[in-house]
Amino acid sequence: MPVFGYRGLATDGRTVSGVIDADSARAARGKLRTLGVFPTDISEEVISRARDWRSYLPVFRLRMSAGDIALLTRQLGSLLTGGVPLVDALSLLTDQANRAGVKKMLSQVRERVREGTSLADALALHSDIFSELYVAMVRAGEAAGALETVLDRLADYSESQAELVRKVRGALTYPLIMMVVGTGIMGFLVTYVVPQVATVFTQNSSALPLATQLLVGFAAFLTTYWWLIGLGALAMVGGLSYYISTSNGRYRYDRLVLKCPYIGDTVTKVITARFARTLSTLLASGVQVLPAMDAVRLVVTNRLLADAVQKSRDSIREGHGMGQTLAASRLFPPMLVEMIRVGERSGELELMLERAAGAYEREVSASLAQMTTLLEPVMTIVMAGMIVFMILAVLLPIFQLNQIIQ
């Protein structure tokens, strides 16, 4: 059934827009009128792989958070488990979608499925929303006849990844707020208060204390050459971004991150948890080991660890074990390697990977909590020290001026 995009007026005079399915444009207009919408413009939506200009600008792309995708996946799995046919389940999800972009996307997926396309191929047309990993798992579920089970596992996986991202962001929120507030206070003192004090002392031909002289010099430099500082910062950020985007630069950057004290260990645990959770979910969904290793490499964001996964995949193809190659890389934690070896020997690799993922996710939570606990007093002390220095640099000349007046 064709899908039509429309714009029109609601009964209360509001301008509304969206998509609706009907046999023809005339049927679509009649359906809209029964819903209380008087269409002013209606056109059939063309479902294809063609990309318009919005797809090249991230700000215009349809975005769905990991939590939204998990909820959508959970709802679809529940409907299928309850015996609702796939097309009808997609229709229900389309009708209850609040966002026009999501409603349009679900309508296109439904029409593709109604025309005989597999759900995985229909989802693959929306690569900005559904990752290759997501599509691969849906395809495996369809092939195994266990789509409902795979969707439930996908929802669990998406929820766990969303929770991990929330923990990381939560750990960084307080330090960022402290940095922004402290920078704002220092900027106000440097650009407004300090020049006022310096002007008073200049008019009285009085010598400023050393701390005040340093601060006045810094304020003068900042207010005079702020544009040069800004251009230099932009050039530095642009240069580093370009260098990291190159193959050699990315490799060196990832190696430096892994060598950083505490940060490297935390990053390794985060990637290890994601690797183990994803691979366990794929294997439990019926995906073979080699395709699963190809897919899981996409979620390993560190170049060195990704290369180790690729070497492990090649080793498996040659008949060797996964744990042997990961151990030779000396990059993945020993506990993960040992659990993989146990899983390979016992035939319960998915279970051991799932346990490893849970263990490292708990370690990541503990590491982030510890990092936040350490960062809060450190940031407070640093910011307080800088602000105290600036306040003293402002108050010392005022005390000196008071003594001169007396």
Which pLDDT does position 50 carry in this prediction? 41
Quote the pLDDT of residue 16.
73
Query: Looking at 109, 126, 158, which one is the last position of a domain?
Result: 158
Same domain, 327 and 188: yes
Q: Which residues contact 171 (CB under 8 A, 6 or more apart)?
A: 368, 369, 371, 372
Query: pLDDT at position 192, please?
Result: 75
Alpha-carbon distance 204 to 401, whole Å?
A: 9
Q: Is residue 105 part of a domain?
A: yes
> Containing domain of residue 106, as a range?
55-158
Residue 135 lies in a domain: yes
- Residue 260 shares a structural domain with residue 154: no
96 shares its domain with 216: no
Residue 311 lies in a domain: yes
The answer to whether residues 325 and 370 belong to one domain is yes
- Identify whether 353 is part of a domain: yes
* Whole-number Å distance between alpha carbons of 113 and 347: 36
Neighbouring residues of 106: CB distance < 8 A, sequence distance ≥ 6? 90, 93, 94, 97
**Per-residue confidence (pLDDT) for residue 235, from 0 to 100:** 93
Q: Is 50 part of a structural domain of the chain?
A: no
Same structural domain for residues 290 and 384?
A: yes
- Whether residue 119 contacts residue 85, with contact meaning beta carbons closer than 8 Å, is answered with no
Same domain for 32 and 113, yes or no, is no
Kindly report the CATH number assigned to the domain that includes residue 177: 1.20.81.30
261 and 382 assigned to the same domain: yes
Q: Where among 137, 158, 179 does a domain terminate?
A: 158
Does the model's pTM come out above 0.75?
A: no
- Mark whether 80 and 100 lie in a shared domain: yes
- Domain boundary (158, 189, 210) is at 158
Contact 16, 10 (CB under 8 A): yes
Kindly state whether residue 163 falls inside one of the protein's structural domains: no
Residue 358 included in any domain: yes
Q: Are residues 189 and 322 in the same domain?
A: yes
Q: Burial letters for 182-198: b for 16+ Cβ neighbours within 10 Å, e otherwise?
A: beeeeeebbeebbeebb
So what's the pLDDT on residue 53?
A: 42
**Which pLDDT value is given to residue 295?**
77
| Residues 139, 120: Cα–Cα separation, whole Å | 5
In the chain, the N- to C-terminal Cα span, in Å, equals 92
Report the domain count for the chain.
3
- Pick out the chain residues at pLDDT < 70: 1-3, 18-19, 21, 45-63, 144, 164, 171, 197-198, 200-208, 400-406
Is there a domain that residue 151 lies in? yes
Instruction: Kindly state whether residues 309 and 361 are assigned to the same domain.
Output: yes
- Say yes or no: 223 and 89 in one domain: no
* Whether residues 14 and 96 fall in one domain: no
